[in-house]
């Protein structure tokens, strides 16, 4: 059973979700703050009313003789409460409790006469808000009158919830309107990508940059990344075309020679002629194989390094002698004295092991081919004052005319009319490998005759630690 393809992410949906979640959190926070503000406002209003009630009742009782009883008007005002959530007490310093509930506690801090005292209290398991006023009564017998009025917190909270409900409804409508505007704005804003989309859709195989003045700033990192990718693709295609052209140019001659000597062998079946033709065919086959190998090596050297890089710290003082030793038997077969000179102290460089192997192999190949039989080739390794390393390959061959030294690293360039087989790619490969390692390639003639090829490697970065 074919599994359904996963849904593609939507930029519009992500933007709306990223906006909706913070807005919902803000709405919740605003609701909490609104409830706190509304409750504080309700408490202030009710406290003021409660204090006014206590002061009014105290004044009313002060102006009327008590005689141990409350007047009808005072009792009505104290006992009237539609919800039955009010409590009161009236005390006389001379006669005690005149009316109300004796359980209502007095304020924790006494106040001056005529000044209401507001405080919290509890009665029958209910949290109360109470106001107490003390008034001096006329006549010595009456003493001081204390009026306490208390109410539950239900009405305050009810009013706070009503205010909160009104605020939340209004804010929810406001957020819905804002989200609608955001949705409309996102849809309209993303239309700015339409010209870029159309420009890309209209292309066939064109790899020119897509960045332009109509690309928004927020999209520029993406377009620049795409342009960089296009640039790498252009380089790869150019490298591909160059490889095909170079292969056609370099393989044409040996292939033509192979065809010619094959026709000669077929035309004259004599053993001597066929042996000579086969010898030429063998030599041309080796040349073609060598050319193809060099072309591939040049293409690898010219290609961009892989993402993340493959370079690591390499001790040339250990690796170079090993690489030179691999070529000793070949040098002996060619009648060449191949040697190595270098110290035992480590010489670290940041490089690619395979690339350094190709670099040294091509330097030795170049010296072997052009120094001639019976010559001497010396590979030297030296430390540089700046912390880098120098790899030198010297021979005592005929050398190179001074005016041709700068051209030695050109592709397919060969000095003079040299009869030595070769493709003219060895030093070009060395140049590209040295460039990838940040190294400098230097050619110079040495006395009394011969050529020195020097590769000066920079010191490794300080942040890279040498392996143990």
pLDDT value of residue 153:
85
pLDDT value of residue 318:
92
The CATH number that applies at residue 401 is: 3.30.565.10
- Name residues whose C-beta falls within 8 Å of residue 296's C-beta, 6 or more positions apart in sequence: none
> Where among 277, 302, 327 does a domain terminate?
302
Residue recorded with tokens 């590209």: 432
- Name residues whose C-beta falls within 8 Å of residue 21's C-beta, 6 or more positions apart in sequence: none
* 175, part of any domain: no
> Where among 134, 161, 188 does a domain terminate?
161
Q: What stretch of H or E contains 251?
A: helix 220-267
**Helices 426-436, 271-302: crossing angle, 10 deg rounding:** 20
Please write the tens of the pLDDT for every residue from 299-351.
Answer: 666 665 544 446 788 999 999 999 899 888 888 888 899 999 988 889 999 88
- Indicate if 45 and 113 belong to the same structural domain: yes
Domain that holds residue 357: 312-457
- Indicate if 31 and 118 belong to the same structural domain: yes
Alpha carbon distance 277, 261 (integer Å) = 5
- Indicate if 297 and 316 belong to the same structural domain: no
| 323 phi and psi angles, rounded to 5 deg | -70, -35
| Nearest Cα residue to 369 out of 307, 418, 440 | 418
Angle at 177 between CA 174 and CA 180, to 5 degrees: 150
Indicate the SS3 state at residue 381.
strand
Residue 231 near residue 210, CB atoms below 8 Å? no
Q: What is the 3-state secondary structure (H, E, C) of 107-130?
A: CCCCCCCCCCEEEEEEECCEEEEE
Alpha carbon distance 398, 41 (integer Å) = 104
> Where among 273, 302, 331 does a domain terminate?
302
pLDDT value of residue 393:
92
Q: What is the 3-state secondary structure (H, E, C) of 115-176?
A: CCEEEEEEECCEEEEEEEEEEECCCCCCCEEEEEEEEECHHHHHHHHHHHHHHHHHHHHHHH
What are the tokens at 460?
């490794």
* 1, part of any domain: no
Helix intervals (H) in 268-399: 271-302, 316-325, 328-333, 353-371
Chain centre to alpha carbon of residue 218? 15
Residue 301 near residue 432, CB atoms below 8 Å? yes
* 212, part of any domain: no
- Indicate if 156 and 17 belong to the same structural domain: yes
| Nearest Cα residue to 361 out of 327, 394, 338 | 327
- Indicate if 147 and 55 belong to the same structural domain: yes
- Indicate if 232 and 286 belong to the same structural domain: yes
Q: How, if at all, do strands 86-92 and 144-152 pair? A: antiparallel
What are the tokens at 82?
């539609």
| Nearest Cα residue to 83 out of 1, 10, 152 | 152
pLDDT value of residue 112:
76
- Indicate if 261 and 324 belong to the same structural domain: no
- Indicate if 259 and 349 belong to the same structural domain: no
Indicate the SS3 state at residue 185.
helix
- Indicate if 334 and 398 belong to the same structural domain: yes
The CATH number that applies at residue 234 is: 1.10.287
Residue 425 near residue 412, CB atoms below 8 Å? yes
| 452 phi and psi angles, rounded to 5 deg | -120, 125
* 213, part of any domain: no
* 186, part of any domain: no
Per-residue DSSP letters for 405-467?
Answer: GGGTTSTT--STT--S---S-HHHHHHHHHHHTT-EEEEEE-SSS-EEEEEEEPPPPTTSPPP
- Indicate if 287 and 403 belong to the same structural domain: no
* 146, part of any domain: yes
Residue 150 near residue 121, CB atoms below 8 Å? yes
User: Number of C-alpha atoms within 13 angstroms, CB side, residue 23?
Assistant: 18
Structural domain total, the chain: 3
pLDDT value of residue 137:
73
Going by the DSSP 8-state scheme, the letter that residue 346 receives in this structure is -
pLDDT value of residue 295:
64
* 189, part of any domain: no
pLDDT value of residue 457:
93
Residue 372 near residue 333, CB atoms below 8 Å? no
Where are the strands (E) in 177-277, listed by range? none
Q: How, if at all, do strands 96-100 and 117-123 pair? A: unpaired
Angle at 165 between CA 160 and CA 171, to 5 degrees: 120
- Indicate if 294 and 408 belong to the same structural domain: no
pTM for this prediction: 0.47
The residues pairing with 146 across neighbouring beta strands, listed in sequence order, are: 91, 134
The CATH number that applies at residue 21 is: 3.30.450
Q: Which residues of the chain have pLDDT under 50?
A: 1, 68, 140, 306-309, 417-419
Please write the tens of the pLDDT for every residue from 230-289.
Answer: 777 777 777 566 666 666 666 666 777 777 778 877 887 788 887 887 887 777 777 676
- Indicate if 54 and 94 belong to the same structural domain: yes
* 4, part of any domain: no
């Amino acid at each position: 059973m074919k599994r359904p393809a996963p849904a593609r992410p939507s930029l519009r949906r992500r933007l709306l979700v990223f906006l909706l979640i913070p807005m919902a959190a803000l709405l919740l926070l605003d609701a909490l703050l609104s409830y706190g503000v509304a409750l504080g406002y309700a408490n202030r209003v009710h406290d003021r009313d409660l204090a006014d009630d206590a002061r009014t009742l105290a004044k009313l009782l002060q102006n009327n003789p008590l005689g141990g009883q409350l007047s009808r008007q005072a009792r009505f005002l104290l006992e009237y409460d539609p919800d039955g959530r009010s409590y009161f007490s009236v005390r006389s310093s001379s006669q005690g409790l005149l009316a109300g509930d004796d359980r209502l506690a007095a304020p924790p801090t006494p106040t001056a006469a005529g000044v209401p005292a507001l405080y919290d209290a509890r009665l029958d398991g209910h949290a109360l808000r109470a106001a107490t006023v003390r008034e001096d009564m006329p006549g010595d017998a009456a003493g001081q009158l204390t009026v306490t009025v208390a109410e539950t917190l239900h009405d305050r909270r009810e009013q706070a919830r009503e205010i909160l409900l009104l605020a939340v409804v209004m804010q929810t409508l406001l957020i819905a309107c804002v989200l609608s505007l955001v949705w409309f704005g996102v849809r309209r804003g993303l239309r700015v990508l339409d010209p870029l989309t159309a420009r890309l859709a209209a292309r066939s195989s064109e790899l020119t940059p897509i960045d332009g003045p109509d690309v928004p700033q927020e999209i520029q990192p993406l377009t620049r990344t795409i342009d960089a990718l296009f640039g790498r693709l252009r380089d790869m295609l150019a490298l591909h075309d160059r490889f095909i052209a170079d292969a056609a140019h370099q393989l044409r001659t040996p292939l033509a020679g192979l065809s010619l000597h094959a026709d000669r062998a077929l035309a004259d079946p004599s053993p001597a002629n066929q042996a000579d033709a086969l010898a030429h065919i063998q030599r041309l086959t080796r040349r073609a194989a060598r050319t193809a190998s060099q072309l591939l090596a040049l293409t690898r050297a010219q290609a961009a390094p892989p993402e993340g890089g493959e370079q690591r710290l390499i001790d040339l003082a250990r690796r170079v002698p090993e690489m030179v030793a691999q070529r000793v038997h070949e040098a002996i077969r060619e009648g060449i004295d191949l040697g190595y000179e270098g110290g035992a102290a480590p010489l670290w460089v940041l490089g690619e092991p395979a690339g350094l192997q190709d670099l040294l192999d091509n330097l030795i190949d170049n010296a072997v081919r052009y120094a001639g039989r019976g010559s001497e080739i010396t590979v030297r390794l030296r430390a540089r004052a700046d912390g880098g390393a120098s790899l030198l390959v010297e021979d005592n061959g005929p050398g190179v005319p001074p005016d041709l030294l700068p051209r030695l690293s050109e592709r397919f360039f060969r000095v003079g009319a040299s009869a030595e087989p070769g493709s003219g790619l060895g030093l070009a490969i060395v140049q590209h490998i040295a460039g990838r390692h940040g190294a400098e390639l230097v050619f110079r003639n040495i006395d009394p005759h011969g050529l020195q090829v020097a590769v000066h490697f920079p010191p490794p970065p300080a942040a890279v630690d040498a392996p143990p």
